[in-house]
A = this chain, B = another copy of it.
Amino acid sequence: MPQRAVVPITAEGLKTACSQCNLQELCLPFGMSDGDIDQLDGLVGARRKVKRHQHLYRVGDTFEAIFAVRTGSFKTDVLLEDGREQVTGFQMSGEIIGLDGISTDAHTCNAVALEDSDVCIIPFANLETLSREVESLQHQFHKVMSREIVRDHGVMMLLGSMRAEERLAAFLINMSQRFTARGFSAAEFHLRMTREEIGSYLGLKLETVSRAFSRFQENGLIKVQQKHIRIVNIGGLKALLSHLPSV
């Protein structure tokens, strides 16, 4: 295993054209006019491949760009001195990573690929320049940041006020919705993260996550086969969240 090897990987010559990208409606350009999107083509610098388990960036790396996931998926996490890990999010195609770096010009979390992945590099200085000219871009970017804040509030709700099975149900419903938005099945999907990573995200131990999966299966809500999940009774899952009697 080579150590880090940051530079060679970055040099992925291909320019990405937002105007041609089929992720538009999930990504930064969402809601912008075709004309405005054309202007983005000059902004998005290059792509970068990140192999499974490699870091896209680490805590302390100087902040220069945000990234849009093109293919694959990532987790972001923060570490305590004593090694405890908190996964702060999982990112799928079209989603933006790296916003944490703006505040101090250095990244405050780690971003790790969960599978071989591919991101668009959006140099932040250029983004700010262009969004001073393109109003719709400016507004879209603000929405992206705000959406992240709202998402974080949801996670706080989950971590602070829900019990284990509610957390996992919320997680599965969320994953299902995001897969759906990407044209995949809402009912059947492959989780790219381990039980431990799910647990870290949900504030639970991996054993608890595993048991909750098993319980859901016993109750006919889902079918689990390792990382492969099939949702059998989405209504039942949702009922868990609202404390309703399961339909």
A161 with B80, Cβ < 8 A, contacts A149-B152, A156-B86 known = yes
Q: What string of 1s and 0s marks CB contacts (under 8 Å) between A119-145 and chain B?
A: 000000000100111010011001101
The verdict on A85 contacting chain B, using a C-beta distance below 8 Å, is: yes
A56, B156: Cα distance in complex, Å: 21
A150 with B100, Cβ < 8 A, contacts A86-B160, A157-B86 known = yes
- The A contact surface, by secondary structure, is helix
The verdict on A81 contacting chain B, using a C-beta distance below 8 Å, is: yes
The verdict on A153 contacting chain B, using a C-beta distance below 8 Å, is: yes
Number of interface residues of A (CB under 8 A): 47
**In this complex, what residue of B is CB-closest to A202?**
B160
Q: List 25 A-B contacts (CB under 8 A).
A: A78-B153, A80-B157, A80-B162, A84-B161, A86-B156, A86-B157, A86-B161, A88-B153, A99-B146, A102-B143, A102-B145, A102-B146, A103-B143, A103-B147, A108-B150, A109-B153, A132-B132, A145-B146, A145-B149, A148-B149, A149-B149, A152-B153, A155-B156, A156-B159, A160-B202
Interface centre among A139, A149, A243 (most CB of B within 10 A): A149
**In this complex, what residue of B is CB-closest to A243?**
B82
Question: Smallest CB–CB gap between A133 and chain B, Å?
Answer: 8
The verdict on A200 contacting chain B, using a C-beta distance below 8 Å, is: yes
Q: Which residues of A contact B (CB under 8 A)?
A: 78, 80-82, 84-86, 88, 99-104, 108-109, 128, 131-133, 135, 138-139, 142-143, 145-150, 152-157, 159-162, 200-203, 242-243
Question: Smallest CB–CB gap between A162 and chain B, Å?
Answer: 8
Partner of A159, one of B109, B133, B135, B160: B160
